[in-house]
Amino acid sequence: MLSLEPRDAVANETAPKAEPARTVVVLGDSLAAGYGLDPSESFPALLQKKVEAAGMKFTVVNAGVSGDTTSGGLRRVDWLLRRRVDVLVLELGGNDGLRGIPVGITKTNLQAIIDRTKQKYPRAQIVIAGMQMPPNMGVDYTTSFAKLFPELAKANNAALVPFLLEGVGGKPELNLPDLIHPTAEGQKIVATNVWNVLKPVLEKVSAE
């Protein structure tokens, strides 16, 4: 997991100052934390590799906490915002759904996280990772839950990853025995799902 603390710098008055890396914060749960895997196999760590391969100057901060809900993310966000945030990847909501938390509460919490981020950093770009619930949660709930992410993205002019686990969810060979958390191979697919949406956002931020 990447550190949330600023890196120590060695002063060198004769050397030209390097352009500081901008920050991408992935605020998420166990999917971002890479539950059951080495932190280097988590999708935020893989995104950092993709950023570097593309020659972009961004530091990806993994703020994933296993078991976290949108309420937990809301409690943590002010602390995270002490560090400049250029892009916020919001990957929360899955645990709300599995616990049957009312969709309205989840949506309100996610909106509050976005509002606080924009209040502190008005130019910050938001990327929302969409999630879906299994059918056993009931048709009404699963439908409402799936809709909340595109609705939030539209209301906040945010980029949307339609379904974070596209190509991974429901496939035993790409998930740990709990059938919830991706394997290392599954995380690679998740990272690609996010990168396809994140890359144009980073290009936009870089051009500003």
Catalytic hit among 29, 42, 96, 181? 181
Catalytic hit among 30, 42, 68, 86? 30
DSSP-assigned letter for residue 18: P
Which structure tokens are listed for 70? Answer: 């949108």
23-37 pLDDT per residue, tens: 999 999 999 999 999
**Quick one: 88 exposed, middle or buried, by C-beta within 10 A (0-12, 13-18, 19+)?**
buried
Domains of the chain by residue range: 22-207
* Cα–Cα nearest to 65, from 98, 38, 31: 31
Instruction: Say if pTM beats, i.e. exceeds, 0.85.
Output: yes
Catalytic hit among 29, 71, 178, 206? 178
Whether residue 115 lies in the annotated active site: no
CATH of 22-207, one of 3.90.1150.10, 3.40.50.1110, 3.10.290.10, 2.60.120.330: 3.40.50.1110
Whether residue 140 lies in the annotated active site: no
* Axis crossing angle, helix 103-120 with helix 139-155, rounded to the nearest 10: 20
Residue 125 to residue 117: CA distance in whole angstroms: 9
Whether residue 68 lies in the annotated active site: no
130-148 pLDDT per residue, tens: 999 988 889 999 999 999 9
